[in-house]
Chain A
Amino acid sequence: MRHIISLLMANEAGALSRVSGLFSARGYNIESLTVAPTEDATLSRMTIVTRGSDEVIEQINKQLNKLVDVVSVMDLSDGDHIERELMLVKVHAEGADREELKRMSDIFRGNVIDVSDKTYTIELTGAGSKLDSFLQAIDRKLILETVRTGASGIGRGLRILKI
């Protein structure tokens, strides 16, 4: 099953490689991983999307907690949460496609953030599945380039990950 694991860790050199090294050393799968500093400059927050049986996910949580640099870990999939990912798609936009791509972007609540005579760059945010749907909805031949951030996640309401 797909899980979104959020964690806070010391914002120190090498902390990221401790986490990614743990996943490769123990054969856990990483679908995506994002990391950036938080409002507290000594802490980084990481969101990892992974897949595994309940036993594997339990081990991932425990092994992450065991890393000295990791302050706290939460499996967002254990409760209500919001997941967002940012995607930039550069598409070939000429002639009739120009109108159609703008229409599709609007339907998916995207923004065209760069325009050239031959291309659009569309910005989209949402859960990963929504971004997948957009890519399926437009003509595949028109896609020149895509870049995705991987999922970031946060608990709903008072479900808070802090020290």
Chain B
Amino acid sequence: MAEPLLEVRDLVTCFEADGGEIAAVDGVSLHVDAGETLSIVGESGSGKSVTSLSIMRLLPKPAGYIRSGDISFEGEALRDKSEADMRRVRGRRIAMIYQEPMTSLNPVFTVGQQIMEAIELHLGLSRRDARARAIDMLRLVGIPAPEDRIDDYPHHMSGGMRQRVMIAMALSCEPKLLIADEPTTALDATVQAQILELLRKLKRELGMSIMLITHDLGVVAETCDRVVVMYGGKIVEEGDVRSIFRKPLHPYTEGLLASIPRIDETRERLHVIPGIVPNPRDRGAGCRFASRCAYVMDECRARLPELRQIATGRNVACFLAEERNR
């Protein structure tokens, strides 16, 4: 098998808070292959967004920092890069789109200015060519009359339109990897489906990889090849999308699957899993999901289950994994 596009090994990312140190990402290893869509799933606080920010090296400074681990992208170690080199990766080779299209665009610049900024920076195009490319990109993401809309300000656009603009901006320099952090969470269901469809289509056309970060397994089913489920800063389950949907091995994954809303009902957050993600400070020695787990055993509270291979490409961190796989 070829070398993966992105490989993260034993990533530990910490935050300094009130004099203490909290490991928001606590020993995560994952990889994204070329042309693949990997989904990272988890509730807020699971460490999924921090993982993506660690890859981009955009952690809020000085509170957040990578304690240990390796991040390798196209064979280059991102952690060793200078800030200037890192800027040549961001937007050019790895691009990101975000959860809040309403606030992710700068309100005082036109959408065209914001798209062209990246094009001029990374591709070295003239203003004119950059503008032409920006219009092409807007057309590509399905914005009607892009020649006119390019001079609109973000506040002239709906949320779905803005997210399309964000995607156009992210893809304008043809990145190898697109990190989409909850790209559809803030949008209503119809628009959500349109955006996901657009991402699928563009991935096919542009041949890039996508790392889709979401708390919604419903989104995962339609879009992804592989899934990584995170909980409490650790990966609890990993596998291809079909086997995970068919047979979730970790009780947490099971809970997430049970909470997928049907298309005809109003969305609600994960109400099926009782309890909340425990405060990272209160993490005990045992399994971090123990307090909310329906299958909890004494052992779960005493010892942290290691992530281990259960089947080919299937890793689970639960003492019951083998039993449940039977």
Is B one of A's binding partners? no
**B-binding residues in A (CB < 8 A):** none
